[in-house]
Amino acid sequence: MKISDNPILSIVLPVYNMERFVGDAINSILNQAFYDFELILIDDASTDNSLNRIQSFKDNRIRIFCNKQNQGNYPSRNLGAQKARGKYIAVMDADDIALPDRLKQQFDYLEEHPDLLAVGCQFDFIGLNYKKENPLGYEDVCAGLLQDNCVLHPSLLIRAEAFRQLNGYNEIYRYASDYDLLCRLSLLGKIENLPGCYMSYRWHEDQISQKQLLQQKEYANQIRQNYQITYINSHKWKVIDHITTNETGHARMGEVIGLYVMSKKYPDKDFEDRADKLLDEIFNNISYSTPVCIKNGLLGIGCGLIWLLRNGFVEGDEDEVLGEIDSHVLYTINYKREKDTINWAGLFYYLRRRISKVGRQLSLLKNKQSMLYLLDCYERHMQFMSIIVHEPGVHAELEALLQMHLFENKVQKLLSPSKKTKPVYPKIETGDDPLVTFIIPVRIDSEERLQNLSVVVDYLSVIDKSRIIILEGDGKSRITEKNSARNIQYYFIEDPGKVFHRTQYINLLLQMVETPIVGVWDTDVILPVEQIESSIREIKEGKAAISFPYDGRFYDVSPPISQSFREERSMKLLEEAEREMTLKLSFGTYSVGGAFLVKKEVYLNCGGENEAFYGWGAEDMERVKRMEAFGHPIHRTEGALFHLSHPRVNSHYIDKNTQLKSLQELIKIINLSEKEIQEYIATWEWGLFPAFV
């Protein structure tokens, strides 16, 4: 049979080390019911007997080209397509078999449907009793591509004009360029699958899809996301938000969003039901082990949900729907260790999206608080890693925060870090006079707390040149047994109120203190004496104005171990429990509560305690942020803090309104400049108490 100079159809078949199978593949083409074609064989520098095998075929329709060096599958296909003379290009693999009617059925279908750019078909597996069912119509193919390749590549017949318009295969996707080609084809025009089975696909260990499985999956993930974004943004309507890599970072969420968009375009299809079921499946699979990141993680799910909720594709209260994800995000930030890998840009983006829309005021403030913690966490990361240049994604997020006028001073500091000289404070000389006073405002609400107070006082009383002042505020005094040491003073204020206004009591005690250093202590916290003395020295020697006697690890001690400690008074008991990891961190890896020491004069100049914090709240963080705003660095002493157990009576907000006001005050302070804070604290009036005894 003489080959036509202008065959209507060109089959491109690259060959690399396929001597076992290539003969069957070639025979399946030569035996097609359709005959007006050219078969372009590209030997990609095979090292086996493949070239001899293909050269053994004597058919005028065959054209053989040989690469001098191995180029790879898709470069060879592009080369073959350049040589092709047909109106149509058929794809074929060297290890598959085309059934006799394949080319005729596909050619006739494309001739009858000039609006189609390409067509595939169904297929079975060689040696297996299994047939693959791929979607048929164009809309279903588009929906399938949102998840994965749903057109068998070696079954494809494509108009040569469309192939060249797309510049063929994108060779960057070395092991998945076929998926990319099909995605781009579907965006250019219509593609379908025939219902008939016209291909037999061979599975074997030498396939690219088996040998390069991991890289192929990585390329496929990139292609899938590009397709999801392009499809959604090109088919959405103007009032719908533009979608980004963050909303499609979780591959299945990108598919869900694509299906919901398709449901509006094709309301007679079942795309909405499919999206609903897939979204339920995603939710049901969320667990504590789900990574907190954009790529196939919790942040990707969250960003996708924000988009769906705000654009009306799904119903629900955003704060309720995302409440669990918000909690996971906060946990990740609070419990990050310095060497932990974290998706910084993803966390910034998710929280920025959460605070970009006013929802429930309390949820909004909680997420702003989480953003503040994230900024602090990132600053420590910068210092730990000696970061000078931010990752592009992080830099863009910080710039976006500036545009929102949120935490501007903090963000600007991160964007343009300045090497400020660390302030030096005058050394403190007291001679034989007391140096430090520990103040402990307390309300005894349980027997355990009373016992804890006794233990804490005993530990603090041994510190050289120290005083201790305990101020009890309650309806009646419950401290019956008092340590008789000379350096300990007890006072009582009748205060029958339900809420223990701790900040107000601390301010009262600050006025009573006569020593230059003050330690503000919770009733239940225990630290090694050496850590406390180290923090005192930092302030005494002029190296710090505020110091935490621990490094941020705030351990909750279990009731049994707490009781043993009360009885034995041995620090080794707590340290052993820490080594055996039987204690849990209460507030993450960088707590700012429990105990701190300050240079009294400096702290009073900075406003002392902010009495807008009523009861239990965010005063610990606000105190730190205010001191930082005034340029006082926060010193920490190496070592942990241990919190002895007791029934939780006062360690919570009395109501949501109090919690709301507490968070509002925290965010307010952080958004003020040093001058604005100075002006603000000038308006503060410390509360007045009745006489105490």
CA distance 143 to 469: 71
CA distance 460 to 452: 12
Nearest Cα residue to 622 out of 648, 655, 596:
596
User: What is the per-residue pLDDT for 13?
Assistant: 98
Asked which of 201-215, 453-467, 534-548 is least confident by mean pLDDT, the reply is 201-215
What is the 8-class DSSP label of residue 550? S
User: What is the per-residue pLDDT for 360?
Assistant: 82
Region 158-164: mean pLDDT is 98
- Please give the span between the terminal C-alpha atoms of the chain, in angstroms, as a whole number: 117
Give residue for tokens 């596909």: 106
> Can you read off the two tokens belonging to residue 513?
């203190």
Check pLDDT > 60 for residue 210.
Answer: no
> Can you read off the two tokens belonging to residue 81?
């397509």
Q: Is the dihedral of CA 547, 549, 551, 552 positive or negative?
A: negative
> Can you read off the two tokens belonging to residue 664?
């509002």
Concatenated DSSP letters for 217-251?
A: HHHHHHHHHHHHHHHHHHHS-TTSPP--TTTTSSH
Our measurement of the distance from residue 73's CA atom to the centroid of its chain's CA atoms, rounded to an integer in Å, reads 36
All structural domains of the chain, each given as residue ranges with its CATH number in brackets, are 9-215 (3.90.550.10), 235-415 (no CATH), 436-681 (3.90.550.10)
Asked which of 31-35, 482-486, 577-581 is least confident by mean pLDDT, the reply is 482-486
Give residue for tokens 């005058």: 426
CA distance 584 to 431: 41
Nearest-10 Cα torsion for 377, 378, 379, 382? 130
Region 571-591: mean pLDDT is 92
* SS3 at position 15: strand
Check pLDDT > 50 for residue 693.
Answer: no
Contact by Cβ (8 Å): 232, 244: no
Check pLDDT > 70 for residue 133.
Answer: yes
Q: What's the pLDDT band for 484 if we cut at 50, 70, 90?
A: confident
The continuous run of DSSP H or E covering 491 comes out as strand 488-494
pLDDT tens-place string over residues 43-78: 999 999 999 999 999 999 999 999 999 999 999 999
Region 298-312: mean pLDDT is 96
What letter represents residue 209's amino acid? S
Asked which of 292-301, 335-344, 684-693 is least confident by mean pLDDT, the reply is 684-693
Our measurement of the distance from residue 614's CA atom to the centroid of its chain's CA atoms, rounded to an integer in Å, reads 33
Q: What share of the chain is helix, strand, coil (3-state, %, to 5)?
A: 45, 15, 40
Region 126-133: mean pLDDT is 80
Region 183-205: mean pLDDT is 93
User: What is the per-residue pLDDT for 226?
Assistant: 97
Q: What residue spans of 513-558 are helical by DSSP H?
A: 529-540
Give percent of the chain above pLDDT 70: 96
Asked which of 337-346, 410-419, 437-446, 466-475 is least confident by mean pLDDT, the reply is 410-419
| CB-count exposure of residue 638 (10 Å: 0-12, 13-18, 19+) | exposed
Our measurement of the distance from residue 485's CA atom to the centroid of its chain's CA atoms, rounded to an integer in Å, reads 53
Region 431-460: mean pLDDT is 95
Region 365-385: mean pLDDT is 93
User: What is the per-residue pLDDT for 688?
Assistant: 59
What letter represents residue 340's amino acid? D
Check pLDDT > 60 for residue 638.
Answer: yes
Asked which of 146-160, 557-571, 651-665 is least confident by mean pLDDT, the reply is 651-665
pLDDT tens-place string over residues 423-445: 889 999 989 899 999 999 999 99
Check pLDDT > 90 for residue 689.
Answer: no
Q: What's the pLDDT band for 532 if we cut at 50, 70, 90?
A: very high
Average pLDDT taken over every residue of the chain: 93
User: What is the per-residue pLDDT for 49?
Assistant: 96
User: What is the per-residue pLDDT for 300?
Assistant: 97
Task: Using alpha carbons, list the distances in angstroms from residue 175 to 69, 152, 208, 225.
Answer: 18, 15, 7, 16
- Quickly count helices (H) and strands (E) in the chain: 27, 20
User: What is the per-residue pLDDT for 418?
Assistant: 75
> Can you read off the two tokens belonging to residue 674?
């040093």
User: What is the per-residue pLDDT for 1?
Assistant: 45
Q: State pTM to two decimals.
A: 0.90
* SS3 at position 374: helix
pLDDT tens-place string over residues 533-574: 999 999 999 999 999 999 999 999 999 999 999 999 999 999
CA distance 610 to 653: 17
User: What is the per-residue pLDDT for 69?
Assistant: 96
User: What is the per-residue pLDDT for 253?
Assistant: 97
Region 101-117: mean pLDDT is 98
Region 189-209: mean pLDDT is 84
